[in-house]
Structure 1
């Protein structure tokens, strides 16, 4: 056997052994790639993509501890037979803890942003009957339309915690449409009104409409509402303007008679000034006058108060308010009461 034959035979043997080893080799399966939660910045901070979808979700809420003191009256009752304060006992105090959790889901569609929003709340202590969570709001929005259970425009007010500018109920199952043109906006809502009767529940319809303008730090919002159950209505206007180191606001309401949107008085006017003392401290004095309380021409009421808000650290805020009320009753002694609360709230 010559050298050439030996080299050829050795190479053939080596290839045969290598082929056998390759055939017998165990190949480990590659791990599936993990899908991490991705930040979604299309709708503001706090949103993230729900894994496997193009829907963005934001989870938020707050924990609030609050202690109220003094009378829990707002205004006196409706009608001449209820001209006196509902509770005339000594001042008292009461504490409660409120938990709020909300889920805000959004994604882009060919018709614009599709949004669904759910807000749960649960209260321990105070006037709450139980600690169970309840639905505070739940609605769907698309292309300016909004359907579900949510707060009406009548729930809004002016700066501070002294004013009262909404009626007996400010949450409804509603269908609403809002147009936002930048410097001006308009909207209309159809609200389901429920009335519990001895022979069952009665359902009626309320209609609310709003128009607003914004220009150079000045905002004007005009709101009207018609209660189909009571066949009465109300109109409200709020003017807001940046003035010096704060914001001045003026509001007024007139109503034809008692209705779901405004039930406190025939008319009222309120004003506040939110003074930004520092980056963390805001001081807001405010006042309000009620004419013909309970739609009784013999009863008027005025109120003056102060609200102080302070950001302790990022996400933790203190709010304190107190107001003094004087009720003037024709042919009877005037009555007064003081009320307020202290609040600590952690937002997330």
Structure 2
């Protein structure tokens, strides 16, 4: 056998073996298609489709660091300053229905007075469709002027509520039924100093609020009213802003028939401010407010908070708030307020804040 015969035989053998291996080769399976996150621009910026659904989701929030100054800022009431930190995240889900957009909102908030004393709360949670809203949300009474001087609502404006709001262009009108469970007002709903309720007293008020508002060119307006069924007292508030010169002038007035869950500070009040847009990044807002028959958290006998009457004292408040945008979505705010009045020790409070929004 010569060399040529050997080479031909080896080539034939290799061809047979290669053919057998090719017949047994493993073919990789096709990868499953990947559904990437899609942008949802139907409801504005920031929304994306939840994979596998037609629901659009937006995630936003802020991180805040703040130093408060003033009397009794930190327990046990001996410090004149206190540093606090807050983190808040909001989830907004929207989808189209035959009745219009179906909206669901959840707002979670965590507050830290220090490393030991922290709390996480449900700040809002509600559903919204065809003008109806139900859940835990802030009422129209939470709206205010742009500064920090004005006090135009009672302490809590967050309620479990059912609301209908009609909107047409820049105009809206609505009615809300509110559970006022955390109110401490009324002869049947006064709280003792230790926070407990007396025998036979109730903490389950019901309130009804009405509101209208809107825009007309450079002018915005709002008129709202609230009636506390437990105290059988109500309040009315009117507020408006108008662009004038380098800033925006804001005016507000409120009246209450007696301290109630919607307004409790005084029988009458008038507030004004002028928000000056000094530069693209700097806004300066001086403000002033006058209170007629100021309640001043007065106390009655027997260690029970007197929440049913106004005093005959007057009070006034002035303040200045400065906002500065350091970079996009990051700003600083400083505010100082001075309060004085009849039979009232003058008090100065304020804060400095850094906040990053996302």
> What is the TM-score when the length of structure 2 is the normalising length?
0.82
The CA deviation string for residues 13-56 of structure 1, in whole angstroms up to 9 with x for no partner, is: xxxx9998886554321101111111111111111111101111
Match of 1:318 in 2: 332
The CA deviation string for residues 313-335 of structure 1, in whole angstroms up to 9 with x for no partner, is: 11111000001111123xxxx53
Match of 2:293 in 1: 292
Match of 1:11 in 2: none
> SS of 1:112's equivalent?
coil
Counterparts of 2:20 and 2:82 in 1: how far apart (Å)? Answer: 84
Match of 1:112 in 2: 100
Counterparts of 2:219 and 2:88 in 1: how far apart (Å)? Answer: 32
Matched, 1:152 2:139: yes
The CA deviation string for residues 146-198 of structure 1, in whole angstroms up to 9 with x for no partner, is: 00001111111101111111113211100001111113210110001225734
Match of 2:193 in 1: none
Counterparts of 1:90 and 1:101 in 2: how far apart (Å)? Answer: 33
Match of 2:12 in 1: none
> SS of 1:269's equivalent?
strand
Match of 1:101 in 2: 89
> SS of 1:284's equivalent?
strand
Match of 1:122 in 2: 110
Matched, 1:139 2:140: no
Match of 2:209 in 1: 208
Number of aligned pairs?
A: 313
Query: Aligned-residue CA RMSD in angstroms?
Result: 2.4
Matched, 1:34 2:22: no
- Segments of 5+ residues of structure 1 without an aligned counterpart are 1-16, 74-88
Counterparts of 1:100 and 1:67 in 2: how far apart (Å)? Answer: 18
Counterparts of 1:56 and 1:250 in 2: how far apart (Å)? Answer: 38
- Segments of 5+ residues of structure 2 without an aligned counterpart are 1-16, 182-188, 190-195, 296-308
Alpha-carbon offset, residue 275 of structure 1 = 0.6
Match of 1:79 in 2: none
Match of 1:62 in 2: 62
Conservation of the 8 A alpha-carbon contact between 2:317 and 2:337: yes
Counterparts of 1:132 and 1:325 in 2: how far apart (Å)? Answer: 30
Extract structure 1 runs of 4+ deviating beyond 3 A: 17-27, 195-202
Alpha-carbon offset, residue 129 of structure 1 = 8.3
Alpha-carbon offset, residue 132 of structure 1 = 3.5
Conservation of the 8 A alpha-carbon contact between 2:72 and 2:80: no
> What is the TM-score when the length of structure 1 is the normalising length?
0.84
Counterparts of 1:229 and 1:210 in 2: how far apart (Å)? Answer: 20
Gap change, CA 1:34 and 1:300, over 3 Å in 2: same
Match of 1:306 in 2: 320
Moved more, 31-40 or 129-138: 129-138
The CA deviation string for residues 50-96 of structure 1, in whole angstroms up to 9 with x for no partner, is: 110111111111111111112369xxxxxxxxxxxxxxx99811111
Alpha-carbon offset, residue 297 of structure 1 = 4.8
Residues 156-235 of structure 1: matches in 2 within 5 Å?
156-194=143-181, 197-199=197-199, 202-235=203-236
Alpha-carbon offset, residue 202 of structure 1 = 3.8
Counterparts of 1:130 and 1:139 in 2: how far apart (Å)? Answer: 28
Conservation of the 8 A alpha-carbon contact between 1:72 and 1:339: no
